[in-house]
Chain A
Amino acid sequence: MPEPLSYFGNLGQWREQWLPLLLAIFVHAVAMSALYDGWNPDFEVENVVTPKFVNSKLIVMEPKSKPKPAPKPAKEPEPLKPIVQQVAPPPMPKPVPRTTPTPVKTQPKPDPDAIRKKAEQEAKRKAEALRQQRLQELSNQSFEDAIATEDENFDDVTEEGEAAKSFFQAIYDQVVANWSRPPSARNGMKALLRVELVPTGDLVNVTIVESSDNPAFDRSAEQAVRKAGKFEVPKESALFESKFRRFNLLFQPEDLFR
């Protein structure tokens, strides 16, 4: 029986061997080009967005507000919390009383819950009053204005402005890294904190200027600043005095889905 050994001889080399090879190469070329096209866009997007892990904002008040907290620098060398409590009694509803209900202070004492609750309610009421007052106090430098002027502050293109911007960015990153938001945090909450530093960059005082009406959130913001503890600040004393001795930080969780 003169049977051919294989089908290849019968059906032609081209159809049996080269066509499949060409088709196989074609498949791979298509796969590679798809990979090449699909690979880059993600890559690029990931690269561009660098510092936006958490959309909390850093707002810098202009030094105009300097005269207002004039009494505060006097407290600088003293330890923080006792002072806060001593200041609390006076009827003047300054931002300071707002910090009284933080658990750090209430915990050491064997306080029953009732007292704390009462204190919290009191604080809330005070904070409400305080907010009204504060809003008026800040008048031209109000909260909304601050947000509006934020971009201008950051678009400051002078050399000094550039330097300040990079320092603020570093502070912002440091605070955000230390910030653990409470589960009760919601979009739209805002807590404005006043941070006071000394020229070495050490934190002297942090107070809540504008409460979010959620004590846990306020506390978390305050804790974030306290945890960061020491910041990098410019060496030039003029720049430090004008922008870093006292500035406000706005905490705002915008990236939540609830």
Chain B
Amino acid sequence: MPEQLSIFELIANASLLVQLVMAMLLAASVASWMMIFQRWMFLRKVTTEMERFEEHFWSGIDLRKLYGQLEGADDLTGIEKIFVAGFKEFSRLSEQAGADTDAVMQGVQRSMRVAVSREEEQLERNLPFLATVGSTSPYVGLFGTVWGIMNSFRSLANMTQATLASVAPGISEALIATAMGLFAAIPAVIGYNRFSARVDVLMGRYETFADELTSLLQRAAHARQVKRD
């Protein structure tokens, strides 16, 4: 059956180094697709949770009650964690007798900043891997191709009659490495760009939320201080 002369046979006939390169690229491609799906699901989840929480938050609910709902839960997502971190610090510091508003607010801001940067870490997880695959796998593939073509031309030197048929299979199998490199790189680059843009958007919203929460808490602290005085 002529169908047996397939791309897989070409790969099987390739030299060891080219096969290694191909295996590496295949692994990189599978891993980067895995990261893409994982990031995609994660970011989608984070975004929907954030929208739900913000809606809840601005619905006029008592912050103390909201904190009570969230405190014990262990499946908090990004924005909830920021809220919990800020509010916990606020209630702790304001319970202390004689704490002045500035000191309380500084503490709250610090703890929220920590929470935000921790969230950023979570959001950007695995993105450097995608960037690496996207930028290096074409070169790796090209290396495999160059090596394969080098070998097929070198074997041409031993032949008395140089025909196209004697080099074409070698070149064809070598080019598979470049194709695989591109196959791995293109989704990785697209995924990286897309996800880092979404991470930027999310980070912007986290910071906005942290600022809004700070101003709310400051107002509350100020009112309390006025009442105490």
By the criterion CB–CB under 8 Å, are A43 and B37 in contact? Answer: no
Cβ-neighbour of A28 out of B7, B30, B42, B45 (below 8 A): B30
Q: Which one of A24, A43, A44 has the greatest number of beta carbons of chain B within 10 Å?
A: A24
Among A11, A19, A20, which residue has the most Cβ atoms of chain B within 10 A? Answer: A20
Within the complex, the shortest CB–CB distance from A39 to chain B, in Å, comes to 5
Q: Are B8 and A20 in contact (CB under 8 A)?
A: no
Taken together as a complex, chains A and B put the C-alpha atoms of A11 and B29 apart, in Å, by 25
A3-19 vs B, CB cutoff 8 Å, 1 = contact: the mask equals 11011001100011101
- A27–B183 Cα distance when bound, in Å, is 11
Q: How many A-B residue pairs have CB under 8 A?
A: 59
Asked whether A139 is an interface residue with its Cβ less than 8 Å from the other chain, the reply is no
Does B5 make an interface contact (CB < 8 A)? yes
| Chain A contacts for B7, CB-based, 8 A | 35-36, 39
Q: Say yes or no: is B113 at the interface (Cβ < 8 Å to chain A).
A: no
Q: Does B146 contact A (CB under 8 A)?
A: no
Quote the shortest CB–CB distance from A16 to chain B (angstroms). Answer: 6
Q: How far does the Cβ of B112 sit from chain A's closest Cβ, in whole Å?
A: 12
Question: B2 touching A16 by the CB < 8 A rule?
Answer: no
> How far apart are the CA atoms of A44 and B2 in the complex, in Å?
7
The answer to whether residues A4 and B74 also contact, given A28-B30, A40-B6 and a CB cut-off of 8 A, is yes
Inter-subunit contact A23/B37 (CB<8 Å): yes
Write out the residue numbers on chain B whose beta carbons fall within 8 Å of the beta carbon of A19. Answer: 37, 41
Scan B14-52; emit 1 where CB is below 8 A from any A CB, else 0: 000000000000100111011111100110010000000
Contact B8 A24 (CB under 8 A): no
Q: Tell me the nearest residue of chain A to B40, going by C-beta.
A: A20
Within 8 Å by CB of A40, from B2, B30, B38, lies B2
**Is A31 located at the chain interface by the 8 A CB criterion?**
yes
| In the complex, chain A residues whose CB is within 8 Å of the CB of B41 | 15-16, 19-20
Instruction: Decide if B33 touches A36 in the complex (CB within 8 Å).
Output: no
The CA-CA distance from A16 to B39 in the complex, in Å, is 9
Task: Map CB proximity to B onto A110-137 as digits: 1 under 8 Å, 0 otherwise.
Answer: 0000000000000000000000000000
B85 at the interface (CB under 8 A from A): yes
Interface pair B37/A20, CB less than 8 Å apart = yes
Does A70 lie at the interface of the complex (its beta carbon under 8 Å from any beta carbon of B)?
Answer: no
Q: Smallest CB-CB separation from A17: which chain B residue?
A: B38
CB nearest to B179 among chain A residues = A35
- A184 contacts the other chain (CB 8 A): no
Task: Knowing A36-B6, A39-B7, A40-B2, say if A24 contacts B37 (CB, 8 Å).
Answer: yes
Q: Which 7 A-B pairs have the closest CB atoms?
A: A24-B33, A20-B37, A20-B38, A24-B34, A20-B34, A23-B37, A10-B75
